[in-house]
Chains A and B, each alone.
Chain A
C-alpha cells in the first residue's frame, strides 16, 4: 500500500512535501528500519498498544469498524515525543510496560505486516508510516506524520486493514469476574494496590500466566495466574528472573483461604506429587524470599498461620488425619512410633506450610516436653502387687546388667507420648532411668516385657526400630529366661501374678 492520501503506509520525502506538508502535516523521523524486531507480529503489536492503554487508564475498549480494529483508552493522551525512540523518561515501577518503546515497535510491526496505523490522541492525530529514503538503494525507516487535531480525551489506535482477533482473552482485565477465584496483595502498593490473582478459567489452549494483566506464557497447571511482583525481560517474553515468578506465585498462595484450592495446592506440592503440575517443582514459598506484604508489613508466610484452620483442614483432607510434614527422614521412626505419618512436601514450600501444619520436629519436641512431666510414684504409694512386680523388675535388672546399671527403675505416671498413643514404658537417656507405668505393674508379664524393652535401650544406646535395640532385647530376654529357669528370682515370685 503506497500513500493514498487517506491511509498512508509508505511515503517518500517527495510525497510528504507535495501532498502532506501543504495540508499541515509535520514529519518526525523515529528511526528504526522496517526490518527491526522481525519476531514481532500482530499479537506483540496489539499487546503493547493495549498495555499502553491500560497504563494510561486502567481499562481500554476495542472494536471493529469498516476500516479495521481500533483500540482506545480514556487516558491523558500521547505527545509526539512519546513516539521517539528513547522516551523522555522510563515508566514508573508499577506500570505494566517499563521502557515505553513497545508502542513504536508495535507500529513498525503492523506497518511491516501491511496495515496502516492511525493514532488519534488529545490535541493531535498521527499516521505512523515508513519513510522511504534513497541511500545506496532504498531504506524504509519508521516515521510519523502528525498535525494538530485529534480528540479531546484519550487515545485511539486504528489498525487499518486488520480484521483478525483482538486477543481479548489474553488480557486479564477482560476475564469475567467469576474467573478470579482468589486474590492476594502483591508487592506493588503505590499508587495503586495491585493484587495477584488465581484464575479458574477453561482456556482453549490450557492454563496461562499473565504478567501484570497481560498474557505471558502457558503453564501446565490446573490454574492460571495473574502476577504483579516480578520484572519482565525487556522483550516481555518471560520474567527477567524465573525464580521471582515462582516466588510471586508463592505470595499469592499464602493468601488463599478456600479449602478446596489449598487441597489442590497440597496435591501439587507433596512429594511425590499427587497432581503433577509445574508448581510441583517450581513453586517457591520460602518465607525470606517472599518477604513482607508492603501495606501491613506482615510476612507473607504468616498469612498461612492466620488461616491455619483452613490449611490444616485441607492438609488433613489430602494427606490424612495422622500426617505431619517430614523435615528430616531421621525422625520417621519416631513419628510413626507416635502414631503419625511423615509426608514429604516440596522443599521450597516446607517452611511456609509449617506455619500451619505440624512437622515431625514439632511433634517430637512436643512429645519430649510432655514426657518430661513424668512423675515417679514412691514405692509406698503402690499396691502390694505392683510393688512385688517392681521389685522383680529391679532384681532382673541387677542380674541381667550388673555392669551397665540403670540409675533407677521407677513406677511412674507417664504422660502419653502423643495424642494418638499411650505410654507404658519410658527410658530417660540423660538420667539413665527406667519408668514403668503403674498400670503395667498390675501384671508381672507386662512388667517384664517393659523392663526387657527399656533395659535394651539402656544397654544398647539405640532407639526403637533400630537393629541394635532389637539385638539387645534378644540377648536380655534370653538371659532373663535362663536366669528364671535357674531359679534366680524364685524368692520374689510369691507375689507375682503373670
Chain B
C-alpha cells in the first residue's frame, strides 16, 4: 500500500485504539516488521482520543459485504452476465447506439 493511501485510510476511518490495533495487525500480515512498527506508530498518532471522537464517525457509511474483501474482481463473462441478469442489456445497447448516432450526426 502506498504511504498516501495508508494516511488517508487511517485518518478517514480509525478513531479508536482498538481499531488502530486491528489495522496494525492487518498490516503486519502484509509488510515487514519495520514497516509494521512505523505504520502502527503513524496510526496511533492519527487516532483520535475518546474525547475527540465525533458522534458520527464515518460520513459516508458503506456497509461492507459478506466477506469484507478488499478487492472485488470480476471476470468479463460475469460482468456481461450480471448486466443480462438485471435486464438492462438491450436497454443499454439501444440507448448508447442511439446516442452514438446522434453524436455522429447520422
Number of residues on chain A facing chain B (CB within 8 A): 65
Q: Quick check: B72 and A423 within 8 Å, CB to CB?
A: no
- Determine whether B92 belongs to the interface, using a CB cutoff of 8 Å to chain A: yes
Q: Quick check: A493 and B91 within 8 Å, CB to CB?
A: no
C-alpha gap A473/B84 in the complex (Å): 11
**A368-B65 contact, Cβ under 8 Å, with A481-B88, A485-B98, A490-B103:** no
In residues 77-96 of chain B, which contact A (Cβ within 8 Å)? 78-80, 82-83, 85-88, 91-93, 95-96
C-alpha gap A352/B62 in the complex (Å): 38
Q: Quick check: B76 and A424 within 8 Å, CB to CB?
A: yes
C-alpha gap A331/B68 in the complex (Å): 10
Q: Quick check: B103 and A466 within 8 Å, CB to CB?
A: no
Q: Which of B60, B62, B75, B93 contacts A445 (CB 8 A)?
A: B93
**A498-B97 contact, Cβ under 8 Å, with A422-B76, A470-B86, A473-B86:** yes
In residues 399-450 of chain A, which contact B (Cβ within 8 Å)? 404, 414, 417, 421-431, 437, 440, 444-446, 448-450
**A469-B65 contact, Cβ under 8 Å, with A424-B74, A493-B104, A494-B104:** yes
Residue pairs across A and B with Cβ atoms less than 8 A apart, 28 shown, are A330-B66, A334-B67, A334-B69, A337-B73, A417-B73, A422-B75, A424-B79, A425-B73, A429-B72, A437-B76, A449-B79, A449-B83, A449-B92, A452-B83, A453-B83, A457-B72, A463-B69, A463-B72, A466-B66, A468-B65, A481-B92, A481-B95, A484-B92, A484-B95, A487-B99, A490-B99, A493-B99, A496-B103
Q: Quick check: B92 and A477 within 8 Å, CB to CB?
A: yes
Q: Which of B71, B93, B96, B98 contacts A426 (CB 8 A)?
A: B71
**A478-B88 contact, Cβ under 8 Å, with A426-B73, A454-B74, A496-B100:** yes
Q: Quick check: A440 and B76 within 8 Å, CB to CB?
A: yes
C-alpha gap A328/B87 in the complex (Å): 32
* A430 proximity list for chain B (CB < 8 A): 1, 5, 9, 70
* A66 proximity list for chain B (CB < 8 A): none
Q: Quick check: B83 and A331 within 8 Å, CB to CB?
A: no
> A426-B72, A454-B74 given. 19 additional CB < 8 A pairs?
A368-B70, A371-B73, A421-B75, A423-B73, A425-B74, A428-B71, A429-B71, A446-B76, A446-B79, A449-B80, A450-B74, A454-B72, A461-B64, A463-B65, A477-B88, A484-B92, A484-B98, A490-B103, A496-B96
* B100 proximity list for chain A (CB < 8 A): 444, 493, 496, 498
- Nearest-neighbour CB distance to chain A for B82, whole angstroms, equals 6
Q: Quick check: A473 and B82 within 8 Å, CB to CB?
A: yes
**A427-B71 contact, Cβ under 8 Å, with A453-B82, A477-B91, A487-B102:** yes
In the complex formed, the residue of A with least CB distance to B5 is A431
Q: Quick check: A371 and B95 within 8 Å, CB to CB?
A: no
Q: What 4 A-B pairs come out closest when comparing CB atoms?
A: A463-B65, A493-B103, A461-B62, A417-B73
* A461 proximity list for chain B (CB < 8 A): 62-65
C-alpha gap A197/B71 in the complex (Å): 48
C-alpha gap A485/B73 in the complex (Å): 30
Q: Quick check: B82 and A470 within 8 Å, CB to CB?
A: yes
C-alpha gap A67/B35 in the complex (Å): 85
- Nearest-neighbour CB distance to chain A for B2, whole angstroms, equals 9
C-alpha gap A96/B97 in the complex (Å): 85
C-alpha gap A364/B72 in the complex (Å): 11
Chain B residues with CB under 8 Å of chain A are 1, 5, 9, 60, 62-67, 69-76, 78-80, 82-83, 85-88, 91-93, 95-100, 102-104
C-alpha gap A309/B86 in the complex (Å): 43
* A333 proximity list for chain B (CB < 8 A): 66-67
C-alpha gap A425/B82 in the complex (Å): 13
- Determine whether A480 belongs to the interface, using a CB cutoff of 8 Å to chain B: yes
In the complex formed, the residue of A with least CB distance to B94 is A481
C-alpha gap A461/B67 in the complex (Å): 11
C-alpha gap A477/B85 in the complex (Å): 12
* A466 proximity list for chain B (CB < 8 A): 65-66
In the complex formed, the residue of B with least CB distance to A433 is B5
- Determine whether A14 belongs to the interface, using a CB cutoff of 8 Å to chain B: no
* B76 proximity list for chain A (CB < 8 A): 422, 424, 437, 440, 446
C-alpha gap A440/B96 in the complex (Å): 17
* A481 proximity list for chain B (CB < 8 A): 88, 91-92, 95
* B91 proximity list for chain A (CB < 8 A): 477, 481
* A448 proximity list for chain B (CB < 8 A): 92, 96
Q: Which of B66, B73, B79, B96 contacts A498 (CB 8 A)?
A: B96
Q: Quick check: A367 and B103 within 8 Å, CB to CB?
A: no
Q: Which of B60, B72, B80, B86 contacts A464 (CB 8 A)?
A: B72
* A424 proximity list for chain B (CB < 8 A): 74-76, 79
- Determine whether A491 belongs to the interface, using a CB cutoff of 8 Å to chain B: yes
Q: Quick check: B60 and A404 within 8 Å, CB to CB?
A: yes
* A453 proximity list for chain B (CB < 8 A): 74, 79, 82-83
Q: Quick check: B79 and A484 within 8 Å, CB to CB?
A: no
**A464-B93 contact, Cβ under 8 Å, with A334-B67, A487-B99, A490-B103:** no
- Determine whether A76 belongs to the interface, using a CB cutoff of 8 Å to chain B: no
C-alpha gap A425/B87 in the complex (Å): 20
C-alpha gap A491/B79 in the complex (Å): 26
* B65 proximity list for chain A (CB < 8 A): 461-463, 466, 468-469
* A429 proximity list for chain B (CB < 8 A): 64, 69-72
* B98 proximity list for chain A (CB < 8 A): 484-485
* B99 proximity list for chain A (CB < 8 A): 484-485, 487, 489-490, 493
